[in-house]
Structure 1
Amino acid sequence: MFQPTYPIRTARLVLRPVTVDDLDDVYAFQRRPDVVRWMLGAEPRTREQSRASVLAMTGEDAWRAEGDCLTVAVVADAAVIGIVELVWRSQLDRTAELGFVFHPDHGGRGLATEAATALLDWGFTEFGLHRVYGRCHGRNTASARMMARLGLRQEARHVQSYLFKGEWADQLVFAILTNEWRAGVRTPPS
């Protein structure tokens, strides 16, 4: 089993496993159309759907096997303002996929970048990842900008590669290697 030493602390945030007590905070952003807009198959969630989501995330506190998701709650001012995750995609290739979702009321201050930086640092430094990639809808400029701030380079634009809400959509793929991470190619959070 592989997991960070919790909590992970940054200058302004605490990253820790999701608990059932996080329901109200998670529901506050999962119910918003502007938050789920770019998520595949996602619609704004009801409170019961958010409860199921939170319960699922409570079991994602470590990597036990390839394919597992490590999900952390991002806490600022005693509230969960977002979620950051790493999915262990390949043990052999030491690869993971980055995911994130944040409450828009906390945008524009570098908090999402700060949280993702902390989890990526664990992945590269403690776990020994070789490569981390992230994907987003071709029109999801906010996610694309965040991945660029983290130092991930755009590797591909898969044109009309998947059906998204009934329309063919482009998918952007970003990635960073451990040597790039260690060299500090990322833009530090402000």
Structure 2
Amino acid sequence: MRGPRLVAACLGLFAAAHLGCAPGDERARAAGGPGDPACACAPAQVVDPTLLAFLSRARAAHHAADVALGAGDRAAALRALEGIIAAPRPPGPPPEVAEVTADTYARLAELRGEAGEFDAAARDIDAGLRLAPAPSHYQGHLYEVAGVVEERRAKALEAKGDREAATQARARAVGLLERAISIQDRVITEALTGPGEKPR
């Protein structure tokens, strides 16, 4: 359920940041004299309908994937999520598009890792990381999923009796999870203290 919640959050934050004043506030601002900010909020901005449509479409696709998984139809869930990757994107594209797409790649990797498709999952992770090149929550989550995929690979190799390869996969899992922790620590620290600073 992470996917729909993330897309809904992006959609809500984007709308809140771009809607500007309510109609009543517009009337109050018009009634004010020159230099009199009757409305405390910034002038209304135009909401990008293409971006809103993309985010809404992505949210619907994640919900469709949830429904398909609930019915045991993994293939349909994958198709719904892959549709987000292939969908037309707003020009630019805005950062919200990259974030939602990167997180969709993470969910695809999770599903493929659960099914033992470890190499395909790794390709999804690589594609997601290309959209999240800088330290961020999204980049950290991709490394987290990559670590879980390698952990599952290790268990599968162990079950086949290939202990050496399992040990190597387990070591990769630890390294990836440690990197995920480091990235998220940095995200939290910078949010609390500002970029380049250390908490006291």
TM range (shorter): 0.3 to 0.5
The TM-score, its normalising length taken from structure 1, stands at 0.32
Rg bigger for which structure? 2
Greater share of helix residues, 1 or 2? 2
More relative contact order in 1 or in 2 (CA 8 Å, sep 6+)?
1
The TM-score, its normalising length taken from structure 2, stands at 0.31
Greater share of strand residues, 1 or 2? 1
